[in-house]
Homo-oligomer: A and B are copies of this chain.
Amino acid sequence: MAHAYLRDKEDLLNRLKKIEGQIRGIQRMIEEDRYCVDILTQIAASKQALNKVGIALLEAHTRGCVAAAIQHGRGDESIEELMKVIFRFLG
């Protein structure tokens, strides 16, 4: 089955490419002995960018798979699985 995030595929991939670039930038900062606090600020920004990708994917998943499961009377396990992954995200 094609997943619901397909519509946002390009957007998600672009964001992840940008995060990949941020992670490489952090490596460069460490190699160049840059100031710790500046590096930490970049790490916090990458974390925040991952949160946003996570929310976008969560939204696509809820609109797609979870909504379909609810409409077919199989919402219970789908919602339970959704909550587990959200909880993992809070950590």
Binding site for B on A (CB under 8 A): 2-6, 9, 12-13, 16-17, 19-20, 23-24, 26-27, 30-31, 33-37, 39-41, 43-44, 46-48, 50-51, 53-55, 57-67, 70-71, 75-76, 79-83, 85-91
Contact = CB atoms under 8 A, between A and B. Distances in A.
Given A43-B50, A63-B75, A86-B86, 9 more contacts: A3-B33, A4-B36, A9-B31, A19-B23, A36-B61, A41-B85, A44-B85, A55-B83, A70-B71
A73 to B, nearest CB: 10
6 contacts: A9-B30, A36-B57, A46-B50, A55-B86, A55-B87, A58-B83
A26 B54 CA distance: 11
